[in-house]
Structure 1
Amino acid sequence: MAETEKPVGVAVLGLGNVGTEVVRIMEDSAEDLAARIGAPLQLRGIGVRRVAADRGVPVELLTEDVEALVARDDVDIVVELMGPVEPARRAILAALEHGKSVVTANKALLAQSTGKLATAAEKARVDLYFEAAVAGAIPVIRPLTQSLAGDRVLRVAGIVNGTTNYILSAMSETGASYDDALAEAGALGYAEADPTADVEGYDAAAKAAILASIAFHTRVQADDVYREGITAVSAEDFASAKALGCTIKLLSICERITNADGSEQVSARVYPALVPLTHPLASVNGAFNAVFVEAAAAGQLMFYGQGAGGAPTASAVLGDVVMAARNRVQGGRGPRESKYARLPIAPIGVVPTRYYLSLYVHDKPGVLSKVASEFANRGVSIAEVRQEGLVDEDGQPIGARIVVLTHRATDAALSETVTALKELDVVSSVASVLRMEGTE
């Protein structure tokens, strides 16, 4: 019986929203967790920056000495929920060196230091779990590492940042500007006071690095991920997208790219893209997340749910704690880092996709011909062109707006085309350049 087994000692580092929920669930579900593990979980201590009696837990559990806590003999599993990269890295490495299994939700740290942490875990022969680091409560890591371990993953694409998805959903539904949608997200608590990590794509890029590393058995770090944020997306872009039967989402995309000689590369990238309304990711709105996986044998799979928040993230954390605790009780170990493929990272310039461009031009004969020539000169095939005239307050023509949709082209060819367009005397400005995904 679980009651007769030696307890599995747990130390929690951090008592924010997620840490508080983890401690609460451990207490409220103690009997069920013990039955699932085969031994009871025992909370040994909680590492915090400041010990105070108003933290909602017995003050004797709190300590500011994280180093001493993770080294205790009665601690078997360390749950790191502190963030940011430091001091979390030092705490995790110390825990691993002392033979403790580690559960973390720290995507920024993992995207930078997965190799070092995995090596330390392997040396100590303990577990390193991080399901909660990507998409909160949505089970994505475990399906990739275990359920699809016998398959060949081809592509992982998803919406993995709730803040940006809320902002883009609001712009789509109400026609609001980016600034207004961001202000609304902040007022409702969906956006941080400094939203840079979210709106500039850093958070999504860290998660893309983790997903690519697992899916393609290759170490991919955050710096390997091409990144664009959503700050330049306009209400006009959404109006054009709607006319094209699309919406706009910030996507994290990881995929295998096969070269002409048969060799493979890994592409990992984050950017806002037009997505057809018929695609499953188009219906993922608000602060929800979804990850779309394509595998050779399994085909297409989609994982959907709440990607952030204290309780959803705590659910994923506790799932990892149960797995690590079972391994402690039964003497096993979870999956280790798989990096055997060692595929090179594809530069963004070689990655082919479709594009949407919005141009402001002078309304005069020959404009379309000049614009089209710049695309043709660089081998970028135009799929569709739409033009609308612009007038001032008195109804006098002041130019035109052209929307160009391309067939698939490399990023390098498109970038050269955009540079050439900006130099044309008939082009006032290139207002938007967005990619199109899911239209093949």
Structure 2
Amino acid sequence: MSAASVTTPAVRVRIPREIWVLIAAAFVIALGFGLITPVLPQFAQSFGVGATASSIVVSAFAFFRLVFAPAGGRLIARVGERPIYLAGLLIVAASSAGTAFAHSYWQLLVYRGLGGIGSVMFTVSAVALIVRLAPPAIRARVSSAYASAFLIGGVGGPVVGGLLGGLGLRVPFLAYAAALVLAAAIVFFFLQSASLRPKEGAPTLPVMRVRDGWGDSAYRAAVASGFANGWANFGVRNAILPLFAVAVIADDPRVAGFALAVFAAGNALGITFTGRTSDRVGRKPYIIGGLVVSGLATAATGLATNLPMLLALSVVAGIGAGTLNPAQQATLADVVGRERNGGPALAAFQMSADTGAIIGPVVAGLLVDRGSFGLAFAATGVITLLAVLPWLRGRETHPVRVPSGA
């Protein structure tokens, strides 16, 4: 593994046009996904199941992502990023439409789970493109812009989803399917495949295998924090928080939407700050700080007894998660570099996050059914805080030299 390069803050570099197209599509995807997060657990419970079974619906989506990730990486290498990205969006759109017409818990579980196949296809395609197309000097800024598009969409989506839930729990799923078709149209018309493939006769990039990445302490630490982030923020928060909001705060789907929306707003604040400064300061301080803030706020969420307290803790947890994510994504780009094909290593990282998103909701659901919401959130906070330990020994992938006299 090559040593980390030392960079000096330089003139502002422009974000490539292809990445702006991916950013626009990410906004539409996130807006649609936000529509279903407040209502999915309640939709599952409408079939007469408890917290554990409703949480398994969230885990099923992540499970299919995990299982299909290696095959998705091979398809991208063989067919190209753009076709796999488009196919992935359309698969999730079909899955969401099917979910809207589910007539039993098992139909819901299958339809929602199969959407994970398409999700990992477009997610890994997008990450591979961003790693390859982002100029090294602005990797954190590119990661921040891409993540911000998801978060801006995620702010409005849960609120609208909560309102749509008042029209029926199936309506948000149909709206999500339409949003995914729109995102596919954006990529189809504005992202040309010719500009995304190596020129004919160009040398083939060497492949970075998982074992190559595992020899780097920063990669190992990123896998650990990715697992914890998947457990807490992609798994437990989406599966348990809506149930907690309705059961403890108020029996109203809009409450869950507000809590998820303010988490997304806090996330956007953290992402914006990290994206602007990580390229000038380094990655590790933001990753460690983000894990600590997110872990503590998540652990305390189960203590909320009213809406203002829940919203405040959600904002703080969102800021922590938002501080973590761009620096973590930029670390992976630093480790892979532009001179290698990082598909297998990136897929393995994604699998670690999906594994957390599978296990977290199931464990949290069991803790709720057999204990309390407070216990579930406390355990989730501890998992997040434990992810700090590998980073204490992990290397800084982006050391920055301050110009003399600055």
Normalising by structure 1, we get a TM-score of 0.26
Structure with the larger RCO, 1 or 2 (CA within 8 Å, 6+ apart): 2
Larger radius of gyration: 1
Q: Which has the higher strand share?
A: 1
Q: Which has the higher helix share?
A: 2
Normalising by structure 2, we get a TM-score of 0.27
